[in-house]
Amino acid sequence: MEFNMAHLEKKDLFSLEKYAEIRDEFRKQVMHHKKNRRLALNPHAVLYFEDILTMKYQIQEMLRIEKIFEAEGIQEELDVYNPLIPDGSNWKATFMIEYTNVIERKKALAKLIGIEKTIWVKVDDSEKVFAISNEDLTRDNNEKTASVHFMRFELTKNMHAQAKVGLPIYFGIDHPLFKTEVVVPPEIQKSLVQDLD
């Protein structure tokens, strides 16, 4: 199925009835696709890179759960999720702080206020480009940060060109409690480069 690079439209979605028929198969396809779009920055910080397929799945699941079939409701879901699809000059990701232990997570979120402003990308020896976070709404307060943040990494022309020819891509965190830098593995890099026009 052909998609517009930057967004999904109602015609790109399955009806609730059709989705019920193909959901298991579609879900397998999406889970396989997502394997190469998950980058652990450390044991508790993960970037999940979004694209048109991950957002189509998210929208279909929301429509299914909420039993939304009217055009207006479908458009509302499209309006929420379309901004998370990369548009050729950037990468978009859901950043998650993951702890299985609720108490540990609560303590970590209280210590990591502002972490979303410290997450960056660079290609080869370029300058770091910091994520633009939570453009939809503020996700932290004076007491804690959120465990989920939505991010856009806007690449310079030079970074874009370097990534396209296969130079190494690095992501990192400059927050003093979570300071880290990782090189993107080849299979994830290949998937990310497909997001660039």
* Residue 147 scores a pLDDT above 90: yes
* Residue 4 scores a pLDDT above 50: no
Per-residue pLDDT band at 5 (split at 50, 70, 90)? low
- Per the prediction, the chain carries an average pLDDT of 93
At 72-88, the pLDDT tens digits run: 999 999 999 999 999 99
At 104-127, the pLDDT tens digits run: 999 999 999 999 999 999 999 999
Q: What is the residue extent of each domain of the chain? A: 10-193
**How big is the CA angle at 118 (ends 114 and 119), to the nearest 5 degrees?**
120
Average pLDDT over residues 2-27: 87
Average pLDDT over residues 122-140: 87
At 24-44, the pLDDT tens digits run: 999 999 999 999 999 999 999
Determine the pLDDT at residue 1. 37
Per-residue pLDDT band at 2 (split at 50, 70, 90)? very low
Q: What is the 3-state secondary structure (H, E, C) of the chain?
A: CCCCCCCCCHHHCCCHHHHHHHHHHHHHHHHHHHHHHEEEEECCEEEEECCHHHHHHHHHHHHHHHCCCCHHHHHHHHHHHHHHCCCECEEEEEEEECCCCHHHHHHHHHHCCCHHHHEEEEECCCCCEECEECCCCCCECCCCECCEEEEEEECCHHHHHHHHCCCCEEEEECCCCCCEEEECCHHHHHHHHCCEC
